[in-house]
Structure 1
């Protein structure tokens, strides 16, 4: 018999962080002094992300996650350590009595773990929370499948699976042709009609109302941390957003995305039966929402009632989450009317 490895890992427990202290720290920062006037948009953004990473490292406590994927209570951790120590003692001595002690602790450990999982599932059912229930079912059904490549070889390691899925997704990827549509950056004619789209209070409201998500973005800052620190963060984002808009520059991280494979149909051993979902920067999406709000406000101000059919088309275009459709609707219909009114 071999020594059982301690299959556990430690992750940041963002729900147990002291957000009062974190917000107090962030609120003392003078963001105008924090960001250098000569810094580029990307340098400012990276400086903010680095600061948040340092705060997370120092202020967010760790949580132990066992091989089951869920944190176990303290008494199970202590029982696991006793079981492990009993096994090591038996290996060194070999007495039958020590083996019996290990077997007793092992059975007790399994009993407590089973009891914990049963209680956990019963609580989920009793809460009658559909979101939590289906989330738990999804986690049970989302076990990693063995993939099969074109040579009928089984791919089991996470790294090899990622390479195979990346190769599969690249075959259906449409490469950018490099053509950039020409947009006029002249805003002199309409400057009197444009409100500042970046207000810290609206940015904060957007973040706080955003739907919670556990997906990691290229920024690598969890959504729960962003939502709990929305008030002081919105002041920093206001400065970055405004400079990005004025200089027509975006941070490098906004050009990146995290690709998550989602199952389409069985068999799940076939990499072609997965579709890629792109997760972009959360702060970039907040930036886009601020601009979209400005576009919709312009539409409500300048689109005349007589063009009811066209108005409906415009509003539908501006309300979409597709940035290309939104920009096309704005530049085709709204901006010309804004310029005429000026």
Structure 2
């Protein structure tokens, strides 16, 4: 055999020797810390994404040997991957549904459900919209119900101008879509389809900001981060008051029916891995600070140690029986989870 065609690689601690013909070149190996790096896979809700991203960033600064990847597939898309065993943690902007519970059961996937924050679904318009300062749930239904023929603001309420409506909202894999449609239209996933959908809330922000007649909805943290580009519409509550989404109105339960809990779901077998346990512990121990940094509504401070205790006990399953609990307050959700 021609010597110049012979390639021999000899490995030894800290380096690699590559012999090509008569020439030997010593190459450094990948650092052992990188070679041993462990990965935690997180995916799911675009609403929960900013919270999980803040948690992952802070955790990795103190734990460089552990990589946390956070994706945005929507709540439904995340559960599809989670129940197939592809994820360690699934972010969710609604409780796990019955069909997802069944999918996990069929694959032998057990999970721990942890509430991490609360959110208000913000209904938003273009800054130049000076007429829709508030909307009733009935008017939202008129706009968003299946088969809706509303194409113009003048069709929504007498006195509104003759301006075409351009609609933006989450896609069908989104937990925000599920919650909004059930709260407004009475059934999850029941919605008109002639609107611009996206699982990425930043795309929805851009859409609403680009058209004077636009209307959209998504988690309020994206409103908080884009107040110069879009503005919120107050929702007329069951009591008759027009209420804007804020930490205060979400916490005190007056922003109804568009306040909802946010969750992470951890695979029971993944929770046994030291790096996953370490990350979840960091997430919950710093839950209030992480949530506030991500511009969401934190749970009461005393609840986080109890949530962590449920995780450490390996308390598996869901307390929601495969259904959304529309209009549930923070206190009601925590009581149901056993962390009141």
TM-score under structure 1 length normalisation: 0.22
User: Counting helix residues as a fraction of each chain, which structure ranks higher?
Assistant: 1
Larger-Rg structure: 1
Structure having greater relative contact order (Cα 8 Å, sep ≥ 6): 2
TM-score under structure 2 length normalisation: 0.22
